[in-house]
Structure 1
Amino acid sequence: MSDLIQSLRQHLPEQQIIVDELRRLAYGTDASFYRLIPQVITVIESENDAKTVLTTGKRHNTPVTFRAAGTSLSGQAITNGILALIGEGFATYELNQDASKVRVGPGIVGGEVNRRLAPHGKKIGPDPASINACKIGGIAANNASGMCCGTAQNSYRTLAGLRVMLADGSVLDTEDPLSVDAFTKSHAVLLGELERLGSDTRNNARLAERIRHKFKIKNTTGYSLNALVDYEHPIDILAHLMIGSEGTLGFISRITYRTVVEDPFKASALVFFPDIRTACEAVIRLKPQPVAAVELLDRPALHSVENKPGLPAIMRELGEDAAALLIEVRAATAEGINERIAAVHAAMAGVATVEPMQFSTDPATCDMYWKVRKGTFPSVGAMRRTGTTVLIEDVAFPIVSLADATLDLQALLRHHGYHEAIIFGHALEGNLHFVFTQDFGDQAEVDRYARLMDDVCDLVVKKYDGSLKAEHGTGRNMAPFVELEWGKEATELMRKIKRLFDPDNLLNPGVIINDNPQAHLENLKPMPAAEDIVDRCIECGFCEPLCPSHRLTLSPRQRIVSVRELARRAAAGQPAGAIGEDYAYMGLDTCAGCGLCSTACPVGINTGDLTRRLRGRKLSDTSRAVNAWTGNNFGTLANASRLGLSVGHAVSGVLGDNFLSRISGGAWKKNMPHAGKAPVARSSQGDPVVYFPTCGSRIFGPATAGEKQQGDVILELLIRAGYAPRLPEGFDKLCCGQMLASKGMAEEAEAMSNTLEAALMAASDNGRYPVIMDASACTARMVEHLAGRLQLYDFHEFAHDALLPRLQLTKQAGPIALHINCSVRRTGSEAKLKKLLAACVEQVVEPAGVNCCGFGGDRGFVVPELNQHALRKIHDELPANCGCGVSTNRTCEIGLTAETGRTYQSIAYLLEQCSRPQDIAC
């Protein structure tokens, strides 16, 4: 054990220190194409933790890098020293009375801040494409912007105050007069030097004008030197230097933003032009107009998405020189929207377009337009050759030069053989992204990339005096070129700032300031072929906030990183080592397999599919035989499971739930359901419908003894609504195969699905009658399996479509908690579930930060810590007067009940109660 780790263990809890090779590898990756493996990872939950890390790093002369979400694209969130992961202790949120300011910690996701601000008609200014994954720490430290943010609403411009810890462990809170007073005394030398630098810079007319000119367009190359000319007070200078400093000057432990208005009315138009020049001329006309966003797409970008379902057919007919602008206007009123649309039409008068411009206020149409824009980057990533990576570079030009610069950039990419490259960007700001694929496993290809970047730098800086990094941060990627862009005098000023704040060069060294001219070509991340399911992964990290095991063990991105490393070792004839050993638990056992990652993944990867494949490969012959027997004798297994529940309740009645939970390793839950019973068919008159009670609802009965079985409740509801439900023959011996599929036994699971399909076909008269299932995970599996051969509905979908119009409901007051499980989210049926619940109850609580419950079929019994971790945020979100909840999956409800102490049941129970003239009794 190193002295460094021993020192950390003297001050931090063991669970906040990560030293295993697997997770050090996993966190050695961010969204860039670089990799550095940290010596140790510390999870910091407080400023005391951060100070411990900084002082320990200094004592051992080891660099420290603070990391939020790791969605950064330029290599600024990795290190070979101490990686300080910003924990949930920093996921703080505080809104002032009139919602004009929001005070947030660096550990909260930007999209979550906006979700909380939405009821007030506000949002934060920065709007990066990664906002649903990136955290405030990264947004501020990189001065992230986005499609609508521009330069007016980024972190620098909307900063109201911050709390920062410097390299020496001291803290400054710019909003606290006592803190400012104390810091002024303790750091008089630092502040005096900042004041002098600011004065000298403002008095240097040529340098001051250079700085002002550089920040007229988007620019995140180097430090925020505009702080020296925009502000005179050293506290203000210090605060604004921290924005965009990428963790190289200090740790921002809290920031206060001035919020901006989120207009409720929006309209979008996707306008096609015969060529880039015409499109860029239109941008210049639009710049002074009241437009929220203008996105430019060149012809290759349009090619990359033109065959997506639902997109305009004209996209496939455009000439090879064509381009498009996606224009959005926003307003507080419908009248305001019409006025802004009229203004855009007037500005565009006389500009040649392929077809007349048309704005739409229909949300679905606008969403389709934005899918064109947002789908370009992942389309290139998905189509790349295995073993290559996808790069997205980020530059900005003066808007008057946008047309020439775009054409020059296209020519440059072709000259270097990057024929797959596409260009798109935030045209109003002259900000272009260009995306291409790159093989870093071949030195000749690395050399080609180096030549390209040299020429790009010459084009951007020497020809157009633009920004080499507009919004993605300098990182390691552009650090060698800062002086090329800024010149020697301004770059030396940046070096002075770095030395002033970090004299030992221990805060994220090599980022922003780097004297190594080859730094952008070193520590390149390998991207070996691993598994076809995940080879398209671009390691962006968008999946992580949705994953129930993230920060317990691994996220989907980290599972893929690990599998790639294992594949690399196997191909090289190297042993898997500790990474292979640890992956069994961290990668396989604790993966819920929920597939929520696919809903956020730009290229649609379901890492649960990878997990199931790898689990199948690890099964022993004995395990495979046992599972195969299970599939062939499911009725026997169901009866044995019911018997086990009955015995468990008998034991817990004597020894208690806690004792039974302890000796079972957490498999026995508090409020464990009683043994279920198969529902009994009832004759009735009405419209025929088939109901298949899934095995979860048949095996696991209600939590309270004597309460109605779920299957009986659903039968009662169907009959009450005028349906004549029929049960498939031998249904108690049938299963969809989900239980075997989750263990990696795909063929055996498919056989079970086939058997169930035959029974459902027979019961529905070969698809004549609709079929209902009562567990969302099972329904989702069978919908995919059946591929439209049957009318198959999850219960909540059928209840919304067919039961609500036939039932007389007595609406209840509530509150009732709603858990939208992963299958409902993945299939996109949550809107119907919400509407169904809203028809039953006045007050609904939907806990923030809770996605998949982590029960994952049997995972909640086998690795209960996954369920506990996934639901760790639910406790603070449920009000004391919320005594019960609803969902649509029996095992999810078991985990939710055990963790919250509230009874969660199928929404069928609530619907049945509300369709009777009596109150809920939760």
Structure 2
Amino acid sequence: MEYHKINQTDLDNLSKFISDPERFITKPTKHWDHDQFGTVKAMPDLVIQPTSNEEVMNVVKYASDHSIPLVPRGNSTGLMGANLAVDGGISLDMIKMNKVLEYDPESLTMTVQAGLRLKDLDEYLADKPFMYMPAPAMHWATIGGNVSTNAGGLKAIKYGVTREHIREIKVVLTNGKLYKFGSKAVKSSSGYSLKDLIIGSEGTLGVVTEVTIRLYPRPHKSINAIIPFPTLNDAIRSVPAILKSGVVPTTVEFMGRKVVKLWETYAKDEFPIKHGDGFIIIGIDAFTEDEWKAELNETLEVVKPFKAEKAIVLSADSDEAKKIWKCREELLLAIQNSTPKMDEIDVCVPINHIPVVLDRIEELEKELNIRIPNFGHAGDGNLHIYLCSDNMSDEEYAKTSDKVISELYKTAKSLDGNMSGEHGIGYARANYYEDFYGKDYTDLLRKVKKLFDPNYIINPGKIFKP
């Protein structure tokens, strides 16, 4: 599509909407040309940092009326290029919309601006009896970014993904109007849920400005157990048995010795467990000691037939537990540090089929001579799979990566899985979308996009091709 190129008249008009000239950046630096991966780079023509709904409304309407592409941006922790201005235009950087607007413990809700970081949200609640339960590893991600990708995280198995924790959002559509989707009420059987349509839309339908989140009472007791197994497959095969037993863990993560060694190199530290090549990390929270002990004992009995070795049980705030979780949360950075270039796939499959994907990864490593470290959420079937360039030329790496991505998508599709469990499709995977989900389905999504964004200016070129 052809878009209008921002000129001096546009700059003059747009600048009138922003009260502080320091938030109107006409010469963007490389800070704005990439996301966490940096695989794809694209520089916007203009960066605007709004601080109010009114500023967002004015900028979005002007962009739509003048066919200027506009890309909402959080704290740039994404991995699929969803916040890149691939067609130029405006990067609407939401990071200064970072206020807590309302803390309402009586309704168990809290309303914040979309640019508030998860880290800041946790700090605000630290001395309060409530928590925001979703736990994506990127603590400096913004709540608006999490809404845009329907982020999952470490606690999704028990508490669900971001969608389950959002009561209400305010979103600016391309007509320049601010809409409230959802409410503080717990239930709704009142027509289409536009709130749930916006969540996970990766900023392609509108700009989220405010989010009302659900608060949970803080559990009184939390413990972790890390269970070593002889192999990673042994570890993975134990997970359906745990979940069928009636135990409802907060977290069930998997990782193997290979990625642990990469973390040891990256962190210049030692992993506290020296035996076993596959690990399951179980998190359990409860309101009484008897409750968590009963769930833990059941878990340890259930995993015995899968060659489980002696588990190490840790209180959630112990130094050893913190090191183990630090390792898990830094695995992405450790893998990234081990290779010149890296790409990622986060397919999600039924939990009993995780070993099928792991077997296919091993086959592809041998067939294509590429290193593919991985780890993930064993409790919900979401794998994080990384393609390392190592000594390959750029051309060879691009060709090999495309082959691996295509093959793993075929595997996920054959298992009734999805392309992405949490990181989204963005720009980097848009070319694969229609092949995975089919033309009829994708055309239906195109009609939805056209309804919300008739001029195709909000985050164009993401998720699927126009």
Q: TM-score, normalised by structure 2?
A: 0.89
Residue number in structure 2 paired with 1:65:
71
Q: Indicate the SS of the match to 1:173.
A: strand
**1:102-124 deviations in Å (ceiling 9; x for gaps):** 11110111121122223333222
Deviations 1:433-490 (A, max 9, x none): 01232379722321222222222221221x3221111100111122222223322332
Residue matched to 1:207: none
Whether the 8 Å contact between 1:482 and 1:512 is mirrored in structure 2 is yes
Q: What does 1:453-532 align with in structure 2 at a 5 Å threshold?
A: 453-461=405-413, 463-515=414-466
Could you say which residue in structure 1 is the equivalent of 2:124? 116
Residues 521-560 of structure 1, C-alpha deviation per residue, up to 9 Å, x if partnerless?
xxxxxxxxxxxxxxxxxxxxxxxxxxxxxxxxxxxxxxxx
State how far apart, in whole Å, the 2-side matches of 1:72 and 1:381 are. 14
Instruction: Summarize deviations over 1:3-38 as a string: whole Å, max 9, x none.
Output: 322221233242221112xx3432112113211111
Higher percent of residues as helix: 1
Which residue pairs with 1:399 in the alignment?
A: 351
Q: Map of 1:549-628 to 2, 5 A cutoff? A: none
Q: Distance in 2 between matches of 1:475 and 1:499?
A: 18
* Residue aligning to 2:319: 364
Please give the secondary structure, in 2, of the residue aligned with 1:505: coil
Contact 1:90 1:253 in 2 (8 A): no
Unaligned ranges ≥5, structure 2: 1-6
Q: What are the within-5 Å matches in structure 2 for residues 404-423 of structure 1?
A: 404-419=356-371, 421-423=372-374
AA at the equivalent of 1:35 = K
The 1:444–1:175 alpha-carbon spacing in structure 2 relative to 1, beyond 3 Å, is: closer
Alignment partner of 1:314 is 2:265: no
Secondary structure (helix, strand or coil) at the match of 2:375 reads strand
1:637 alignment counterpart: none
Percent identity, aligned pairs only? 22
Name the count of aligned residue pairs.
Answer: 448
Gaps of 5+ in 1: 178-229, 516-922
Give the 3-state SS of the residue equivalent to 1:428 in structure 2.
coil
Residue 287 (str. 1) matches residue 239 (str. 2): no
Partner of 2:60: 54
Q: Distance in 2 between matches of 1:423 and 1:254?
A: 35
TM-superposed deviation, 1:93: 3.5
Aligned-residue RMSD, C-alpha: 2.4
The 5 A counterparts of 1:109-508 are: 109-131=117-139, 133-150=140-157, 152-174=159-181, 233-234=190-191, 236-288=192-244, 289-305=247-263, 309-312=269-272, 314-315=274-275, 318=276, 322-353=277-308, 355-361=309-315, 363-384=318-339, 388-419=340-371, 421-438=372-389, 442-461=394-413, 463-508=414-459
Distance in 1 (alpha carbons) for counterparts of 2:269 and 2:98:
41
- Which letter maps to 1:291? P
Of residues 11, 15, 32, the one that matches 1:27 is 32
Q: For 1:277 and 1:105, how far apart are their aligned partners in 2? A: 43
| Partners of 2:16 and 2:128 in 1: CA distance | 45
Select the residue among 3, 19, 39 that pairs with 2:9: 3
Letter in 2 for 1:19: T
Task: State the Cα distance separating 1:498 from its structure 2 match.
Answer: 0.6
CA distance in 1, matches of 2:282, 2:273: 19
Cα distance change, pair 457–335 in 1 and its aligned pair in 2 (3 A): same
Instruction: Using the TM superposition, give the Cα deviation of residue 152 of structure 1 relative to its aligned residue in structure 2, in angstroms.
Output: 4.5
1:306 deviation in Å? 5.2
TM-score after normalising by structure 1 = 0.46
Q: Name the CA distance, whole Å, in 2 between partners of 1:441 and 1:165.
A: 44
Q: 1:92 and 2:48 equivalent?
A: no
**Structure 1 176/290 Cα, relative in aligned 2: closer, same or farther at 3 Å?**
closer
Q: Distance in 2 between matches of 1:396 and 1:126?
A: 18
Kindly tell me: are residues 17 and 371 of structure 1, through their superposed partners in 2, closer, same or farther at Cα, counting changes over 3 Å?
closer
Superposed, 1:699-710 pairs within 5 Å as none
Q: Aligned partner of 2:33: which letter?
A: G
Q: Distance in 2 between matches of 1:331 and 1:176?
A: 29
Say whether the 8 Å CA contact 1:398–1:464 is kept in structure 2.
Answer: yes
**2-structure distance, mates of 1:84, 1:78:** 11
Q: Report the Cα distance in structure 2 between the residues aligned to 1:261 and 1:2, rounded to whole angstroms.
A: 52
Opposite residue 359 of structure 1, the aligned amino acid is: V
Q: Residue 360 of structure 1: SS of its match in structure 2?
A: strand
CA contact (8 A) 1:360 1:366 kept: yes
Asked if the contact 1:275–1:323 (Cα under 8 Å) also holds between the matched residues in 2, the reply is yes
Larger strand proportion, structure 1 or 2? 2
2:134 alignment partner, SS class: coil
- 2:182 and 2:228 map into 1 onto residues whose CA distance is 48
Q: Which amino acid aligns with 2:229?
A: F
Q: Is the 8 A contact 2:134 2:160 kept in 1?
A: yes
- Structure with greater contact order relative to length (CA < 8 Å, sep ≥ 6): 2
Q: Structure 2 CA distance, aligned partners of 1:490 and 1:152?
A: 29
Instruction: Please tell me the residue identity of whatever aligns with 2:73.
Output: R
How far apart in 2 are the matches of 1:335 and 1:66? 47
Q: Distance in 1 between matches of 2:330 and 2:54?
A: 42
Measured in 2, the distance between the counterparts of 1:63 and 1:379 equals 35
Q: Deviations over 1:347-383 (max 9, x none)?
A: 2243312x32231226112112223323432222223
